[in-house]
Structures are given as C-alpha cells and as structure tokens.
Amino acid sequence: MESLYALTTGVLSACGLYLTLRGRTFPVVVGLTLLSYAVNLFLFSMGGLTTDGAAVVNGDGNYADPLPQALVLTAIVIGFAMTAFAVILAMRARGDMGNDHVDGRKHEDREETRR
Amino acid sequence: MPHLIVLPIVLPLAMGVVLLRSRFGSPGFKRVASVIATLALAVISLVLLRHAAEGEITYYALGGWQPPFGIVLVLDRLSALMVLLTSVLAIGCVIFACGGDDEKGSNFHGLFQLQLMGINGAFLTGDLFNLFVFFEVLLLASYALLLHGGGKSRIQSAVHYVVLNLAGSALFLIAVGVLYGATGTLNMADMAARLGELPAERSGLVTAGALLLLVVFGLKAAILPLYFWLPRAYAAAPAPVAALFAIMTKVGIYAILRVYSLIFGQNAGELSSLEQPWVWWLALATLVAATIGVLAARDLRLLVAYLVLVSVGTLLAGVGMNTPEATASLLYYLVHTTLVTGGLFLLADMIGQQRGKAGTRIVKGRPLIQGGALAGLFFLGAAAVAGLPPLSGAIGKALLMHAAEAGQRLWLWPILLISGLCAIIALSRAGSTLFWRSNDGEPGGERLPRQQWIGVSLLLASSPLLVALAGPVSDYTRATADQLANPDALVSALLSDNGGAQ
C-alpha cells in the first residue's frame, strides 16, 4: 500500500507543479488544486500509515495517529477557501484585462516585445 | 493578566467581525471603532512588552491544554516587541486610511483588523502548525486588502501574489508534515527538545524539512530568488495597505529568527544553524539586487518597494551572522525600517495625490500646493531610510556593521555602504525632480486631509524618537538577542510542568 500511496502523491504533485507553471490562469488554478490534494495526502501519511487501526484510542490495540487527520482537515478547509478565492480572482482578472494570461498580456503584445 | 496574551488576537478578531457586520454602516462609526481598537491594541501590547521585559517567558495554553499537547501562545521579549511594532505601524496606517482611502472599496477596516489578527497570531504562536494557520489568516486578509479599490495593476499583481503564496502554503504544509513525521511533535519548544536525541537516520529528513521551511519563510520575507512578486505588489497596493505590508516581510524574518534559533539552535547537534550559510549569501545577493532596483526605479512607490527589499537584505544579513550582537542590532534596525518604510509608502501616496496626473512617476509635474511640508517630510524619511546620521537608520546600520566579524566585514561593509550611497542618489534624484524641477504655472492639487498628515507624521517621527530612545531600545534588543541565543529557557518554561518532553 505504501508504494501505491507514494506513487499517487508523487504523480499528483508532479501534475500540480506542471500545471501551476503554465501561462494561463485556469491551468494554474487547477494545478494549485492538485498540489493541495497531494499535500493533503502527504500530510496524512506523515503519522505513519495504519490499516484497521481504531480512529480514536480505545484501550489496547493499534490506533491511527489522530493528529495528521486534524491537520488534514484544517488544510482541506483552508485549501477550499483559497481555491474559491483564486477562481474568483482569475475570473476578475479575465474580465478586467480582457485575457486570461497570468501576466495580463495578450498574445500579440508578447510578439511585439520579442521583436 | 494571564488572559492578556490572547487579547492581541481576540480583540482584532472581535472588532473585525463587528466591522464586517456593519459594512453598510456610516463611515464615521467604522473609522472611530477601528482607530479605537487599534489604539487599544497598542496599549495591550505595551503592557505585554513591559511584562516581557522582565525576562520571564510566559505562555498561554488555549483551552487549558498543557504543552506539548495543546496549542500555546508564547510571550517572550521578541514576540512582545513584534506585536508592539505591528500595533504602532497599524495606528499610523489606520489614521491615514481615515482620510478617505478606506471608502474607495468595501470592508477596509474589517479586513484590516483581521490582518492584524493574523500578524499578531503569527508572532505569538508557539506551535508550528498554528504558525501556518496564522500565515493563512494574514495572507487571506492581505489578498483582499491588496485588491481594495480595484484597478488593473492591482489585479495583475494580485494574481502573482496569490498564486505564489498558495504554492508557498503547499510547501509550508509539506515542511510541517516532514518535521512532524520525523520528530512526532508540532510544538516548537518540544521539537527543539526532541531534536537533541534524534536518531541519526532521521537527520536527513529533518534537514530537508528545515530547508523547505527556509524557502517558505524566504518567500514571505522576499529573499533573492523569491522576491519578484514584491515590488509590483507593494507599488500597486493602496497606500495604507502597502504601509501595513511593510511588516509582512518582517513576519518572514521573524519566523526565520524564531524557528532557527529555537528549533535548530544550539541543542540541535549537527543540525544547529543549518540555515546560516544560505541566509548569509542570499541576503547579500538580495542587497545587491535591491540596490540595482532602487537605482532603476522610475516611480516613487516602486522606489520605496525596493527600499523595503534593501532592508530585507540588511536584516537577513544580520540573521546570517548568527551572533547575539548581530541579532540585537538587526532588531533595532527592524523597528526603524518597518516604521520608516511604512511612512514613506504613505508619503508617496500623498505626493501622488497632489501631483494629479503625473502621480508618483518621477517626472516633471506641476508645482505642489503643499510642497513645502511634503518635501520636509520626504527629506526626513529619505535621510532616515538611507541611513544618514543623525537619524535611526545610521545607528541601526552602524550597530550591524560593528557586529560583523572580520571575515564577514569584508563582504558586508562595502555592500551595505554602497547600497546606502545608491539609496541617497536615487532618493535625492527623486526628491529634486518631484519638488524642484516642476513646470511653471500655478500650484495645483487639492489640500490633503488632516488624517493623512497625522498618520504619516506619526510613522516618520518614529525615526528621531528611536534616536532619542536609542539607549533603552538597544538595551531591550540586546536582552532579546540573549534570550533568543538561549533557547533552553523557553523550552524549560513551556515543558517544565510536564516533567520535560515525554
């Protein structure tokens, strides 16, 4: 299970990073979302992965580390709020600049500066 | 008294909620409430500072959960100083904003209080994950404040600012996760105690986590490869917000100081001060890059934004020296530079308002109707920020240069002195163009509101005040540096009730 988990986290963060480095706001927002998913998975695994563990301590027996779960919960909430804000900001930027480039430039402008 | 520690967080939160609720209320009520809340915050932080100055480290266990299990707020000399600095800066900003900037968009005062809550929380918390949460609180408020009033340049710089900081938050979480996985705790004092007996095979993991944290704090503090968002964002932000942002880079510097002196301090064995070479060389490189920026800036706001970067480089060079003397002098310089650059942002906006179409661009414009007073304040601010005696910048820089050791002087002295010279050149060029090389014709522009004059004078007057009080202030920063150099005191203050780390 560990290798599958690690692979999932790695692929998610690689895709997230790639999309975050794109030039348009929509892929950037999607990339940030993927990145936050990867981070949540990563945080969750940091307490050690346990199968069949109790969610809370009840006597003996193995139990899952509760702290990463609390951290992930907080991170998810903050991540949702941030994503919502980033989406609204991207739409506002699209409306005000007239295009969705992260630098607010049109394609033609870049051609001109290159010349 | 024990509950006083939590007030710098709870008071702005409560006021923020009240002000957001009454967002359609009269501007008068909002202004009075906001100014009173900020003044009350300053009084509270002054009481906290007097308490912390006695050298005792006190903590507040939220919900009565004792450390290392619960979340704690820690009050020591450093956090008390930073909270007081924040509230003093906030008074200047909020009074300035009452001159009309707050009504250019909605919810200015509510967001402003929430931002104060985030900043104070980041300074007071003793828990690594809680530091992340407060970073998010202050960032969320700052995103909205940066966009206050709208406009193309603001939205454009906000896109960069938001995306970069979201990526930074992801990195912060990864670093926190790594450190939790390796040490099994999130309480900073407990983590410091546990690093001493860290199994050897985990030291690589902890090193990775620590350096990831440096990237995150470096992004907030705007160190060399991570500063490109700063000049445009600060130049585009509304004046009171830009002035408050002067403390935001210092949040990053505070976090570097706190985390690496406490967790990776003298007890961490081979992991101790692992950030030092990185911070030292990158700080010098930041100074050089920022100095070029200062010389190249063609807009007064951009010029001040690059001056913020110069101060970041100077402060981080002090962090990189990693001696108590350097820490003491950098804290003195930090107080000076935060208040003065904040004041300069406000002043730049006033000059821009009165120049009308020419704005803050450094070009010939019409003569100013209140040019004399503006020029006087500009002269005071420029002399202070460039580090000319007899103002506080000179004292701060002299302390810092004196603290450098022989090998470091070779690098620090020329770079710091040349950057000061370049700042003088750029500022005098800007000042003479703005105030002397004006076109013929009648002085124009509207008279500026009284609140703006009060706000800007408050912040700029801190520089002569810091000179007059240089003795007590530097005594305090010296004691702060000694406290930071001795993290055992904090660890034992927090963990003694529980018989140490279990």
Q: Buried b / exposed e across B465-490, counting CB within 10 Å, b at 16+?
A: ebbeebeebbebbbbbbebbbebebb
Q: Mean pLDDT for chain A?
A: 84
- Phi, psi angles (nearest 5°) of residue B274: -75, -15
Q: Chain B residue with minimal CA distance to A25? A: B159
Does residue B31 or residue B443 have the better pLDDT? B31
Measured between CA atoms, how close is A70 to chain B, in angstroms?
11
Residues A104, A97: contact at Cβ < 8 Å?
yes
pLDDT at residue A56, as a whole number: 67
**CA–CA–CA angle B112, B21, B104 (5° rounding):** 50
With a cut of 60, say whether residue A35 has pLDDT above it.
yes
Burial of B106 (0-12, 13-18, 19+ CB in 10 A): middle
B244's CB contacts (< 8 A; 6+ apart) are B89, B90, B93, B112, B115, B145, B342
Q: Identify which of B143, B155, B173 has the shortest CB distance to residue A96.
A: B155
CB contact at 8 A, B312 and B253: yes
pLDDT digits (tens, 9 = 90+) for A3-12: 999 999 999 9
- Taken in order B278, B284, B287, B291, is the CA torsion positive or negative? negative
* Token digits of residue B18: 């009240």
Task: Give A-chain residues touching B209 at CB under 8 angstroms.
Answer: none
Dist CA A53 CA A101 (whole Å): 47
* Sequence-separated (6 or more) residues with CB below 8 Å from residue B83: B8, B45, B48, B49, B120, B123, B124
CB of A96 less than 8 A from some CB of B: yes
Instruction: Give the CA-trace dihedral at B417, B418, B424, B427, to 10 degrees.
Output: -130
From A39, A71, A92, residue closest to B170, measured CB to CB: A39
Contact A96 B152 (CB under 8 A): yes
Distance from CA of A28 to the nearest CA of B (A): 8
A33 CB within 8 Å of a chain B CB:
no
Q: Which residues of B touch A46 (CB under 8 A)?
A: 177-178, 180-181
Contact A20 B163 (CB under 8 A): yes
Closest residue to A32, CB basis, from B152, B155, B163: B163
Tokens of B455: 């706000």
Residues of B with CB below 8 A from A68's CB?
A: 177, 180
Question: Does residue B291 surpass a pLDDT of 60?
Answer: yes
CB contact under 8 A, A20 and B167: yes
Q: Which of A82, A89, A103 sits opposite B158 (nearest CB)?
A: A89
The residue ranking higher by pLDDT, B141 or A53, is B141
Q: Is residue B80 a contact partner of residue B52, using CB atoms and an 8 Å limit?
A: yes
Cβ atoms of B350 and B99 within 8 Å: the answer is no
Average pLDDT over residues B465-487: 93
pLDDT in tens, B149-196: 888 888 989 999 999 999 999 999 999 999 999 988 899 999 988 888
Q: Which residue of A has its CA nearest to B176?
A: A43
For the cut 90, the answer to whether the pLDDT of residue B50 exceeds it is: yes
Any B CB within 8 A of A37 CB: no
Average pLDDT over residues B362-371: 85
Domains in chain A with CATH codes: 2-50+67-114 (1.10.287.3510)
Instruction: State the smallest CA–CA distance between residue B150 and chain A in angstroms.
Output: 10
In the structure, what pLDDT confidence band is assigned to residue A62 with cuts at 50, 70 and 90?
A: confident
Tokens of B452: 């703006």
Per-residue model confidence as pLDDT tens digits over B327-354: 999 999 999 999 999 999 999 999 998 8
Distance CA A24, CA B468 (A): 53
Are A102 and B186 inside 8 Å of each other by CB?
Answer: no
Q: Is B411 exposed, middle or buried (0-12, 13-18, 19+ CB in 10 A)?
A: middle
At B396, which helix (H) or strand (E)? helix B392-403
Mean pLDDT of B36-45: 96
Which of B140, B160, B167 shows the shortest C-beta gap to A35? B167
Copy the structure tokens of residue B61.
């266990």
Strand partners, B361: B299
Instruction: Kindly determine whether residue B180 and residue A93, on different chains, have CB atoms separated by under 8 Å.
Output: no
- Please report, as a single letter, which amino acid is at residue B420: G
Q: What are the tokens at B28? A: 């008068």
Per-residue confidence at B1, pLDDT binned at 50, 70, 90? low
User: What is the predicted pLDDT for the residue at B502?
Assistant: 36
**Helical (H) or strand (E) element with A14:** helix A2-20
Q: How far apart are CA B162 and CA B156, in angstroms?
A: 10
Is the Cβ of A104 closer than 8 Å to some Cβ of chain B?
A: yes
Cα dihedral B52/B55/B56/B60 (nearest 10) = 30
For chain B, the average pLDDT equals 90
For residues B214 and B278, is the Cβ–Cβ distance under 8 A? yes
Chain A residues whose CB is inside 8 A of the B163 CB are 20, 28, 32, 86, 102
Q: Could you give the CA distance from residue B246 to residue B344 in angstroms, rounded to a whole number?
A: 10
The residue type of B159 is V
Average the pLDDT over B380-400 and give the result. Answer: 92
Q: How confident is the model at residue A110 (pLDDT cuts 50, 70, 90)?
A: low
Please check the confidence at residue B198 and state whether its pLDDT lies above 50: yes
Q: What band does B438 get if pLDDT is binned at 50, 70 and 90?
A: confident
Q: Cβ of B159 under 8 Å from any chain A Cβ?
A: yes
Token pair belonging to B364: 């010939």
Nearest C-alpha of chain B: how many angstroms from A51? 18
Nearest CB to B159: which of A25, A38, A39?
A: A25
- Give the integer Cα–Cα distance in Å for B305 and B242: 9
Asked whether B338 and B312 are in contact (CB, 8 A), the reply is: no
Closest C-alpha to B3, from B56, B78, B55, B58: B58
Contacts of B186 in chain A (CB under 8 A): 67
Nearest to B169 by CA among B215, B112, B118: B215
Least confident of A61-65, A81-85, B157-161, B170-174: A61-65
Question: What is the distance between the alpha carbons of residues B132 and B75, in angstroms, rounded to a whole number?
Answer: 18
pLDDT of residue B497: 60
As a whole number, mean pLDDT of residues B86-109 equals: 91
pLDDT (mean) for A61-80: 86
Portion of chain B with pLDDT greater than 90, in percent: 68
Chain B residues touching A104 at Cβ < 8 A = 152, 155-156, 159
Degrees to nearest 5, angle at CA A78 with A34 and B90: 130
DSSP codes, B42-102: HHHHHHHHHHHTTS--EEEEGGGPPTTTS-EEEE-HHHHHHHHHHHHHHHHHHHHHTTTGG
- At residue A115 the predicted structure's pLDDT band, cuts being 50, 70 and 90, is very low
